[in-house]
Amino acid sequence: MTRRSRLIRIARTLRLWPVLLCACLSAGHAAAQTAPAPESDQSARDTEQKREEKRAREAELKAIEERLAGSAEARAKLETEIAGIRADRTKLNQALLETTARTQAAEGRIAGLEQRLSLLQTSETAIRRSLESRRGLIGEVLAALQRIGRRPPPAVLVRPEDILEAVRASMLLGAVVPDLRQEITILGTDLAELVRLREAIAEERKSIAGEMEGLAGERRRLASLIEARRTRETSAAQDIEAQRAAGGELAAQARTLRDLVERIEKDISTANRAADAARRALEAETQEQRQRMAQLAFRDPARLAPKAAFQELRGMLPLPVAGSQLRGFGAADEVGAATRGISLSTRANAVVSSPSDGWVVYAGPFRSFGQLLILNAGNGYYVLLAGMQRIDVSLNQFVLAGEPVAVMGETAEAAATNVGAGTGEPVLYIEFRKDGVSIDPTPWWTKSQGEKARG
């Protein structure tokens, strides 16, 4: 069969395309409208559609996690693994750190994939609208091809790929008048881009599905490790409930967050312990030795106190969650006051890790902050995390930088700031304090993560 004959055969399939053109170009949208909607309404629908897709992916992730939890084989394998390291504090800590890092990396990759998917979908929508405005031109192309056909079409094809092939056929067969050739060339370019976008969107969705499968497994393993840690900590501490009661009393007495931190600093047991550890670290090392020790500070999973003073760790701390910054330190809040911390948007159920070594001096709800976690990092430094749904560590517990300490909720919880409340996404609030004064945490993050935090 000659090329011309093949193209003529293609053309014969196109007789009914003008009738179904609208259906082709509207594919992927929620529903056809009887009249063009205002641009703002369309944008709102597009945004809501993307949110629905994101909620659907979260539901899919939950289903995967539940399936893994119900798998007897997977459960037995995980229980055997945890049993082998439960009694070994070093191995358990190392497993917690590694699993948390993998979990947060997967959450970050999924967020990146979802962002790229959103951009692709926005481009696809723009091209579809452009094609909608050129129905007349496409109709002329299809009518021209229909005229050169000799028999009725055997089938009706309405995919963008089919229209693209028809446009190319019209150019090769000279079926359109010369005046329209430039417009049809542009039309062909747009159709080719639409086809490419559809393929790219399919690939991104496939990648997201694969990453979510891996994330579900890591979250399942992390939950088991956290339970093993909780069992170990509970068996080692005899006064957990008394500590919780004392913490609740402090929260009831404190009027503000600053007041709460000041009251906590008066708690001699934890404050002195952290201060003594930091002072000994400073006195024992020269400046050069301190810098070298700071580089190695996080490599010993068996440590029971910070290996380096907090002030030596600038540019070395990991962000506590995979997310993007919504509001930076010192930015104006809803009432125009300067914020004392930073706010990061996160995925639903994202894992929150400790940004530094430190002792837990407060863990629980506090006024408008929701769930609040305060770490004493030593030498007058405190780290505050708020906006989580659940806290997984206990008072006086020593936690390592990168160790899981909490989990975000499905949507925004009550927090220190209302930033991002309209998006419905969880928001983590982070604040660093030195001697009772809020300081900018940005210089402490590792370079790559500091750039991520700034968006």
**pLDDT in single tens digits along all 455 residues of the chain:** 554 554 444 444 444 444 444 444 454 444 334 444 455 566 666 666 667 776 777 777 777 767 666 666 666 776 776 776 766 778 888 889 999 999 999 999 999 999 899 999 999 889 888 888 877 777 776 676 666 553 334 344 457 777 777 777 766 666 555 666 777 778 888 888 888 999 999 999 999 989 988 898 898 889 888 888 887 766 544 444 555 555 566 566 666 777 777 777 766 455 556 556 655 555 555 555 655 656 666 777 878 888 888 998 999 999 999 988 999 998 888 778 888 999 999 988 999 999 999 999 999 998 777 899 999 999 899 999 999 999 999 888 999 999 999 999 887 765 555 565 556 789 999 999 998 899 999 999 997 765 655 55
Residues 326 and 208 occupy one common structural domain: no
Residues 290 and 407 occupy one common structural domain: yes
Q: What is the pTM of this model?
A: 0.68
Furthest-apart CA pair in the chain: how many Å? 95
Residues 58 and 154 occupy one common structural domain: yes
Amino acid at 42: Q
Residues 217 and 292 occupy one common structural domain: no
Looking at residue 337, what DSSP letter applies? Answer: P
Task: Return the structure tokens found at 397.
Answer: 């517990």
Residues 374 and 265 occupy one common structural domain: yes
Residues 125 and 50 occupy one common structural domain: yes
Residues 147 and 286 occupy one common structural domain: no
Residues 291 and 397 occupy one common structural domain: yes
Residues 137 and 201 occupy one common structural domain: yes
From residue 364, how far is each of 97, 235, 277, 384, 397 by CA, in Å? 23, 21, 26, 12, 14
Per the structure, how many domains does the chain have? 2
Range of the domain at 425: 256-453
Residues 66 and 192 occupy one common structural domain: yes
What are the residues facing 325 on neighbouring strands?
344
In a domain, 10, yes or no: yes
CA of residue 140 relative to chain centroid, distance: 46
Task: Return the structure tokens found at 250.
Answer: 């402090």
Amino acid at 43: S
Residues 324 and 391 occupy one common structural domain: yes
CA distance 318 to 326: 18
Residues 424 and 284 occupy one common structural domain: yes
CATH number at residue 389: 2.70.70.10
Q: Which residue has the tokens 């992390």?
A: 222
Residue that terminates a domain, selected from 233, 268, 301 = 233
In a domain, 244, yes or no: no
